Structure 1
Amino acid sequence: MAEIIKRSNHLRQDINRTKKELAAGVLATAISLLLLEVSQGFSIYIGIAALLHMVRLINDLEILQFGLKGENEVLSLLEKLPRNYKVFSDIHIVDGSKSSQIDFVIVGFNGLFIMETKHIKGTITGREEDNYLQKVKIGKNGERYTKRIFNPLKQIQGHKKGMDLFLERSGIHQEAVPMLFFSSDCIMHVKSKRVKVITEPVQVIDYIKRYRREDVHLSSSIQEHVVEALERL
């Protein structure tokens, strides 16, 4: 099994923060009810505002928990890589005003892989160079829902630039291999020449294990250097 190097997960932090905000909303609603007799109009206004805020927070909490569940499932998947691979999760690289939040970084003898995971259901269409793609989802009753989403291919390519610059500044002359994994029931109709797009879990492990380039071979010392640099983030 691959070595999973635990990191502080921003989703867990966001979930904890949202729970605290939700608790504060409950308290504000309770106080507004207690003050109803003292200042009826003002307390009703506070109560309605607090309730609306709580509804938004509950929705945000559900989305965050769904995302965390998905990331944990991907970690369990990556753990199935051979033991000479090391896996980092939730890597945050900052370069001046620019930053990259990378879901997973996998370090092995055959390359340094960065992987963005998307928990999207539906059919995605568009072009690689588009800033936004179109997601189409069919509801339970046959309704057709269409939504624009930011192009994840551009997102992972931005992460690659950030990682490559970080490696260069760390004295490591290697380029990251970008991967985009849709972990939910998703059909991707967008072709990419620069990013490996994967929609099946088994393909993740297979692609990483089989990946070969003549100019890419990370010796044990280089792998250690990469791991040490990532651990300092």
Structure 2
Amino acid sequence: MIYIWIAVMIVLIIILKSPIVKGKIGERSVSYQLNKLDNEKYIILNNITIPTSSGKTSQIDHIVVSSYGIFVIETKNYRGWIVGDEKSEYWTQILYKRKEKLYNPLRQNYGHMLALKGLLSDYSELRFIPIVCFSFRADLKVKVSSEVIYTSRLVKTIKKYNQEAIPASDVKQIAATITGANITNKDIKKQHIKSIKDDISNKSNKISNDVCPKCSGSLVLRNGRFGQFKGCSNYPKCRFVYNSK
């Protein structure tokens, strides 16, 4: 019997370490916080997938629509130190002596915001507030001016935006437009995940072959303040840089 319990525990540990499961846990934690908001003032939309102008899709963890703005929330459930800045293409997760790269979530969330702007193009001068939300498992060491916060500070961060920017009459209509565009087909969502993985793989292959993933120029080794890095030979037209450290 003890061997069965050991086997079950091993399976549970594997499942809990899965990126998909960790992501779901992070999203549930954020949903719990968002439910503390006044539902008379804020409309909460979770796990929204909308089409983009490029023919792809954009999966957005959470959207909060209110008179104070449209909050676009990207959740991350990483452990360890998270190091990065506003403009870097990649941030670094430092866990003990191991370093892993993650795509800059500010850039990721900017893409979500652009998709929403395209969807809501009939509305003029909407205020979008992007927020990147990390769980308490992370130790944030980022240098940013944007809203990169812990989940526990989410409600307080949203409430600090208290100047009305969107007519109350438009709030429900905007939320309905987003909900109406939400793609619920599982096959399309699977294709969205596959597309992201393919893009990451293609970019990595180009970088490893010293090809710029942005403009297909050559990547050359350069020296900077923090050591060597790869930069596009078409600089300043293309400003792509890659630091393998």
TM bucket, shorter chain: 0.5 to 0.7
C-alpha distance in structure 2 between counterparts of 1:74 and 1:145, whole Å:
27
Aligned position for 2:150: 199
Give runs of aligned pairs for residues 204-223 of structure 1, distance below 5 A: 204-213=154-163, 216-223=164-171
2:89 equivalent to 1:131:
yes
| 1:200 CA displacement | 4.4
Determine helix, strand or coil for the equivalent of 2:120: helix
Aligned position for 1:186: 138
Determine helix, strand or coil for the equivalent of 1:149: strand
Give runs of aligned pairs for residues 25-174 of structure 1, distance below 5 A: 62-84=18-40, 85-95=42-52, 96-138=54-96, 144-168=97-121, 170-174=122-126
C-alpha distance in structure 1 between counterparts of 2:76 and 2:17, whole Å:
17
* Structure with a larger share of its residues in helix: 1
Aligned position for 1:230: 178
Determine helix, strand or coil for the equivalent of 1:125: strand
Determine helix, strand or coil for the equivalent of 1:126: strand
Amino acid at match of 2:132: L
Residues 15, 21 of structure 2: 8 Å contact kept: no
Distance 1:69 1:125, change over 3 A: closer
Residues 179, 197 of structure 1: 8 Å contact kept: yes
| 1:69 CA displacement | 2.4
C-alpha distance in structure 2 between counterparts of 1:133 and 1:231, whole Å:
32
C-alpha distance in structure 1 between counterparts of 2:78 and 2:32, whole Å:
19
Determine helix, strand or coil for the equivalent of 2:171: helix
Determine helix, strand or coil for the equivalent of 2:85: coil
Amino acid at match of 1:217: A
User: What percentage of residue pairs aligned between the two structures are identical?
Assistant: 28
Q: Deviations over 1:20-62 (max 9, x none)?
A: xxxxxxxxxxxxxxxxxxxxxxxxxxxxxxxxxxx9xx66983
C-alpha distance in structure 2 between counterparts of 1:93 and 1:146, whole Å:
33
Residues 84, 91 of structure 2: 8 Å contact kept: yes
| 1:98 CA displacement | 3.8
Cα RMSD for the two superposed structures: 2.2
Distance 1:69 1:126, change over 3 A: closer
| 1:217 CA displacement | 2.3
Amino acid at match of 2:22: F
Amino acid at match of 1:67: G
C-alpha distance in structure 1 between counterparts of 2:150 and 2:25, whole Å:
17
| 1:67 CA displacement | 2.1
User: Runs of 5+ in structure 1 lacking a partner?
Assistant: 1-54, 139-143
C-alpha distance in structure 2 between counterparts of 1:107 and 1:70, whole Å:
20
Determine helix, strand or coil for the equivalent of 2:102: strand
Amino acid at match of 1:136: I
Count of residue correspondences = 167
* Structure whose CA Rg is larger: 1
Aligned pair partner of 1:175 in 127, 145, 162: 127
| 1:154 CA displacement | 1.0
| 1:219 CA displacement | 2.4
C-alpha distance in structure 2 between counterparts of 1:120 and 1:61, whole Å:
11
Aligned position for 1:141: none
C-alpha distance in structure 1 between counterparts of 2:57 and 2:167, whole Å:
28
Q: Deviations over 1:96-150 (max 9, x none)?
A: 3343211000011211101000000111112221111111012xxxxx2111111
C-alpha distance in structure 1 between counterparts of 2:179 and 2:133, whole Å:
24
